[in-house]
Protein backbone atom coordinates (compact mmCIF):
# COMPACT_ATOMS: atom_id res chain seq x y z
CA UNK A 1 0.00 0.00 0.00
CA UNK A 2 1.27 3.45 -0.90
CA UNK A 3 0.53 5.92 1.90
CA UNK A 4 0.78 9.71 1.78
CA UNK A 5 1.06 11.53 5.13
CA UNK A 6 0.24 15.14 5.90
CA UNK A 7 1.04 16.94 9.15
CA UNK A 8 -2.08 18.74 10.31
CA UNK A 9 -0.89 20.41 13.49
CA UNK A 10 2.16 20.49 15.72
CA UNK A 11 2.84 22.12 19.06
CA UNK A 12 6.46 21.17 19.62
CA UNK A 13 7.12 18.95 22.63
CA UNK A 14 3.44 18.44 23.45
CA UNK A 15 1.10 17.68 20.52
CA UNK A 16 1.01 16.56 16.89
CA UNK A 17 -1.67 15.35 14.50
CA UNK A 18 -1.55 14.03 10.96
CA UNK A 19 -3.66 12.46 8.27
CA UNK A 20 -2.80 9.59 5.96
CA UNK A 21 -4.35 8.32 2.75
CA UNK A 22 -3.40 4.96 1.33
CA UNK A 23 -4.08 3.15 -1.95
CA UNK A 24 -3.46 -0.40 -3.07
CA UNK A 25 -5.11 -2.84 -5.42
CA UNK A 26 -8.58 -3.36 -3.96
CA UNK A 27 -7.96 -1.22 -0.88
CA UNK A 28 -8.29 2.36 0.30
CA UNK A 29 -7.30 3.72 3.70
CA UNK A 30 -7.93 7.05 5.43
CA UNK A 31 -6.53 7.82 8.86
CA UNK A 32 -6.31 10.74 11.24
CA UNK A 33 -4.12 10.38 14.29
CA UNK A 34 -2.84 12.54 17.10
CA UNK A 35 -0.81 12.33 20.27
CA UNK A 36 -0.29 14.49 23.31
CA UNK A 37 2.84 14.29 25.45
CA UNK A 38 2.91 15.25 29.12
CA UNK A 39 6.01 15.22 31.26
CA UNK A 40 6.56 14.72 34.94
CA UNK A 41 10.12 14.62 36.21
CA UNK A 42 12.16 12.36 33.94
CA UNK A 43 9.07 10.53 32.62
CA UNK A 44 6.87 11.33 29.65
CA UNK A 45 3.39 9.96 29.06
CA UNK A 46 1.74 9.81 25.65
CA UNK A 47 -2.01 9.84 25.00
CA UNK A 48 -2.56 8.59 21.47
CA UNK A 49 -5.66 8.22 19.29
CA UNK A 50 -6.35 7.22 15.70
CA UNK A 51 -9.39 6.91 13.47
CA UNK A 52 -8.73 4.51 10.59
CA UNK A 53 -11.18 3.69 7.81
CA UNK A 54 -10.64 1.05 5.14
CA UNK A 55 -12.51 0.66 1.87
CA UNK A 56 -12.50 -1.83 -0.94
CA UNK A 57 -11.79 -5.54 -0.43
CA UNK A 58 -9.73 -4.86 2.69
CA UNK A 59 -12.56 -2.86 4.23
CA UNK A 60 -14.99 -5.72 3.70
CA UNK A 61 -12.92 -7.97 6.01
CA UNK A 62 -14.30 -6.19 9.04
CA UNK A 63 -12.91 -5.22 12.42
CA UNK A 64 -12.44 -8.80 13.64
CA UNK A 65 -9.84 -9.46 10.94
CA UNK A 66 -8.27 -5.98 10.75
CA UNK A 67 -7.92 -5.16 14.47
CA UNK A 68 -5.02 -7.59 15.14
CA UNK A 69 -3.14 -6.21 12.11
CA UNK A 70 -3.72 -2.63 13.24
CA UNK A 71 -2.57 -3.47 16.77
CA UNK A 72 0.61 -5.05 15.39
CA UNK A 73 1.43 -1.97 13.30
CA UNK A 74 0.76 0.39 16.21
CA UNK A 75 3.09 -1.68 18.39
CA UNK A 76 5.81 -1.43 15.73
CA UNK A 77 5.46 2.35 15.53
CA UNK A 78 5.54 2.75 19.31
CA UNK A 79 8.58 0.46 19.62
CA UNK A 80 10.41 2.51 16.97
CA UNK A 81 9.43 5.71 18.75
CA UNK A 82 10.69 4.36 22.05
CA UNK A 83 14.04 3.49 20.44
CA UNK A 84 14.35 7.02 18.99
CA UNK A 85 13.58 8.57 22.38
CA UNK A 86 16.21 6.35 24.03
CA UNK A 87 18.77 7.38 21.36
CA UNK A 88 18.01 11.07 21.91
CA UNK A 89 18.25 10.65 25.67
CA UNK A 90 21.63 8.90 25.36
CA UNK A 91 22.93 11.60 23.00
CA UNK A 92 21.80 14.34 25.38
CA UNK A 93 23.53 12.63 28.32
CA UNK A 94 26.83 12.30 26.39
Measured between alpha carbons, how far is 49 from 35 in angstroms, rounded to an integer?
A: 6
DSSP state of 74: H
- 1-43 pLDDT, tens per residue? 788 999 999 998 899 999 999 888 888 889 999 999 998 888 8
Asked if residue 50 lies in contact with residue 30, where contact means CB atoms within 8 angstroms, the answer is no
At residue 63, does pLDDT exceed 80?
Answer: no
At residue 78, does pLDDT exceed 90?
Answer: no
Distance, CA of 77 to chain centre: 6
Measured between alpha carbons, how far is 47 from 79 in angstroms, rounded to an integer?
A: 15
pTM above 0.75, yes or no: no
Higher pLDDT, 7 or 44: 7
Domains and CATH numbers, the chain: 2-93 (3.30.530.20)
Amino acid sequence: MTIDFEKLEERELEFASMSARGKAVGALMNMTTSFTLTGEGDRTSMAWAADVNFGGAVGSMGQRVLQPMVNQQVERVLTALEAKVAEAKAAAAA
